[in-house]
């Protein structure tokens, strides 16, 4: 049994440029995950909060994308300048940052890889 209270999955799926489709891995998601993991480590929270690499989360058009569990908060178009806010508001607390939340258009299909 793990002691993790939260799991954050950061998509790092990367497509070739010939695919014509956006991918999180081609939009800086590896750096986002690495920076977030460093912040969690510096706070001594590694045993409580896990920052995972994820494959495609089916939100490619909104990438870089992540999901935070157990709340099930989906964020997209994340920029490095958003990380502190995500950490303090949504990971350490349970608040939702409205401007980052992925709003699924009802006509939009989630991607499959
Ligand atoms: S490539 Fe990241 S959600 Fe699909």
Ligand 1 centroid – CA 54 distance (Å) = 9
Q: Which residues line ligand 1 (CB under 6 A)?
A: 11, 13, 23-24, 56-60, 63, 65, 111
Residue 74: inside a domain: yes
Atom of ligand 1 nearest to the CA of 14: 1
Strand partners, 101: 75
Whether 45 is covered by a domain: the verdict is yes
Domain that holds residue 74: 6-100
Is residue 24 included in any domain, yes or no?
yes
Domain count, the chain: 1
CATH number for position 57 = 3.40.30.10
pLDDT tens, 52-107? Answer: 999 999 999 999 999 999 999 999 999 999 999 999 999 999 999 999 999 876 65
58 CA from centroid of ligand 1 (Å): 5
pTM of the model: 0.91
């Amino acid at each position: 049994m793990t002691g993790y209270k939260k799991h954050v999955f950061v998509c790092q799926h990367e497509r070739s440029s010939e695919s014509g489709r956006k991918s999180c891995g081609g939009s800086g998601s590896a750096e986002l995950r690495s920076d977030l993991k460093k912040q969690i480590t510096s706070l001594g929270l590694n045993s409580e909060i896990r920052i995972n690499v994820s494959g495609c989360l089916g939100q490619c058009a909104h990438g870089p994308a992540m999901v935070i569990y157990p709340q099930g908060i989906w964020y997209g178009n994340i920029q490095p300048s958003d990380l502190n806010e995500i950490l303090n508001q949504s990971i350490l607390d349970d608040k939702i940052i409205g401007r980052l939340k992925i709003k699924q258009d009802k006509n939009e299909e989630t991607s499959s890889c």
